[in-house]
Chain A
Amino acid sequence: MTEPGSIVEIEIPAGVPAAPPGSTEQRRSHGPWYLWVISLLIVCVIAVPVTSLALRLLDATDAAWQSLLSWQTVRLMVRTLVFTALVTASATAVGVSGAWLLARTDLRFRRAWGVAFALPLVIPSYVIALVLISASGPRGLVADITGVDLPHLVGFPGAWLALTLSTYPYVFLITAAALQRVDPALEEAARGLGASPARVFRTVVLPQLRPAMGAGALLAALYTLSDFGAVSLMRFDVFTRVIYAQYSGRIDRSPAIVLSIVLVAAALIVIWAEQRTRGDGTLFSRKPARPPSVYRLTPWQRAAGTTFLAATVAAGLVLPVAVLSAWLLRGLTSGIDVTIPFDAIAGSLTGASLAAIVAVAASVPIVVLAVRYPTGASNALERAVYVMFSLPHITVAIAVVAFTVRYARPVYQSLLVLVLVYAAMFLAQATGPAKASLLQIDPALDDASRGLGRSHLATMARITVPLMSKGLLAGGLLVFVTALKELPATLLLRPSGFTTLAVRIWSSADELLYTQAAASALVLIAVSVVPVYYLSIKPKDVVGV
């Protein structure tokens, strides 16, 4: 028995905190002011075309509104959406199949196939269309070589093929990256439970790929929706043709602007549809412990896979290069003057690389705000980037011309405006990879740097941006390659005296000067090969769009 005095008696206070502290999620501030200042500047640039369009709508003529409300408009709209859906479906099928074959099977020469399979990305869709038209038909190149009478590839089948070939590389690059991140443990678990490889693909792999496929399909759909060159050459009637017709066929520009609104609405429908089908899927920010397992193909599967890859590469890459080379050779042998379009090369490289630099620089504050300081405003900012990406180029260009000629005369027809428009239109391609790379950086690294006495800005410069560099490079290259191909906005917005390869190809072909068109197109392809090579061997850096 102890002494009474040594016993401690303690009163427990009433009203001990009842509720548990709950989530340990860290609330953060809204982010440093300068990120918001830069972001607001970006928003202003993005807002120009949108507000300008709205302003133009206010003083559109009655005739313009009437053109909108015709039965013809409805018919074309339906036709355009159905066409977009079909191209998106085929591009997704081709892109995902190729990605799976090249990322997850033991097919031989996968890296070389991967580069070849991604390369059609660099060929503008109207060049593919031009080449398909020229190569098909009883008098076409294919008939000449094989002796087989092919039908003319025009109208719906031609447009479908041309746009599928132009858009599947987007799906391919994004899906291939996602496939490399799929956790093999899940597949092994499914196999262990007795599922066949096909069932594993359908029930385990495919659902994990949904977000990446959705992102790729979205790019394909938006590209198709706003394409004009390929569909018009294929004489397949969709909405963009009417806008161009109204724009080029009259002095009054308001009918073209009113009709553009319909295309914007269609783009919003596509974005909405993608979000609906995406469901709850999220992109993988977790690194799986092991590289994905390799599926062994049976001999006939190997043959089928190789045939599929070969056919796609033949149509999307070999045929265009062959036809263009044939035109060039034919012209050169018959003594046609061909000039190396140095001014166009310089213009293309200047415009596209400045656009890439500006887009990458702009992507940093946007993704830092969206990832590190997720608030309603920062999410809205990120979404605004996608809305901009979805706008048809001709619409953006018309709006920007109208705005700059009235309210921004000093920069009217300047390279500055063209570069800003490129950057704004393709910003989504830069923010995608940038976001993916930022998601992989432990936020504690930022805190560590801040704790060591570096300001937020210094931390971004020394830690965040260097660690994002691969994603930023991938994003920059995507923007670069896309800006190289851009035509409608370039035609309308370029400074006087400024020309690009895409413009030269278009205008040469327009005048039936195929030799010169071929020379410019081959240069364009050559210029884009290095960036696409890098993107196709480093697909991981592209994911996350």
Chain B
Amino acid sequence: MNIFVSFLKKNQFFLFFISILLLSTFLLNGCKNDQKTHIPKSLNELGNSKVAVVLGTIQDIYMTEQYPDCEMIRLNSLPECLAAVEKGIADYTVLDSIAILGAGIEKRGMQVDFCLNDYTSIASAFRFEDDNLCQQYNEFLAEIHQNGTVNEMKERWLSDNALNTSMPPIDRSTSGTPILVGTINFNFPFSFIKDGQLAGYEMEMMYRFGTYIGRPVEISAYEFSSILMALNSGKIDIVTCFLCQTEERAKTVLFSDPYYQCQSICVGRSANSNAYSDNNFWDETKEVFKNDLLVEKRWKLLLDGLWETVFISFFSIIIGTILGCLICALRMSRRKLWRGITIGYTKIMHGMPILVFLMIMFYIVFAPTQVTATWVAIIAFAMNFGAFVSEMFLSGIQSVDHGQVEAGRALGFSKRSTFVNFVLPQALHRIFPVYKGEAISLIKNTSIVGYIAIQDITNASDIIRSRTFDAFFPLIIITIIYFILAWILGAVLDYINKKTTHA
């Protein structure tokens, strides 16, 4: 009991934070919206309503061009679009008919208002210089059409049964240069994570293609917004991610023959949306918890993501700190050249968004090398962190009174040992709070590594959200995890600080 009380006393802020989170969960789930009176029958009737679309999809392009009166809300993924409609942020969402398979929109008080009449072609993308591969791929598509494999696949993935399907066994080649395939990991039922593995219609198709041309297949998952860049920088050979054929894209990549025709639908809130009121809050939360974490062992995704986040953060902080010390040392050097270089370096790092820097490192600088994405991320974050650390160290060292140096020298300490014994400890003590803050914000900044195909914890939550169509609960879980990570790091740094000051 006493231990518990002392824990409470010591960790007031922690508990305060957790309770705020639980409260926000409650509010988010409990929030309900006005009923709607009018159900549109075509896009013309949408007038100036707010329409949610997934950024960069064919629906986005189409709506923006054809219905400029609508207020577009461009979101990153499908679950967010559905959540936006559900919570009343948007009035409608326009998306692929197949995408809402398994989303359970009726249960969440939404309905399909109408289907659009036009179809769009979905195809894979290649680099222009890889037209041979594209040719083979087209032959492969023709063949699976003829021999009925396509129907099998459609039966497997695109029916109501899809939620319970898993990948069929396919003989895979193990020799030869692998074909590198890029996809997204949140597009049920085409490419998604099932039991910790990429699965879905497109994935089955890619493995079959590998078998067809006798090469092994390596698939990695990217953010949708950066996937074509990955293709053109040579990180991958084929993009298969429910990519719509558009004229604009056809200018930068080579499209294969279409393998799927997609119809768009418009989803809005149901006329009488009292679907919630049947369930109470606890039952609902239990259901969400089960869906998000227990089904298909999704907690394992989070655990793997957590490991990735911790790995990247840990090495970025260590390497960044060492780099920062080095830069700081050069910054204090007598040579103008060194000073100029390091000042330039810090200025660039301070001025560039870390996301942009990460993308440049991955898609340009390290594109021709074999360095894994994780290590590219570590290098990028370490370089960024190093710039901040060097600045901190410099100001810390400069803030130490020169009298301390003179006192040390006058006692007979050498220049170096004066620095080590007197200047450095005082500088470190002073910069510690800022350092701690920067290190903690680095952990949170790593959440952008999804852009370079790393499955960190944020990415894992995106995957879960894409499967369960639950927009918030996974976010709240990872928020708590990030908070705990930050808390642990803070505690560790505090401990080190305490140990070193009283040494």
Q: Do A and B come from one complex?
A: no
* Chain B positions near chain A (C-beta within 8 angstroms): none
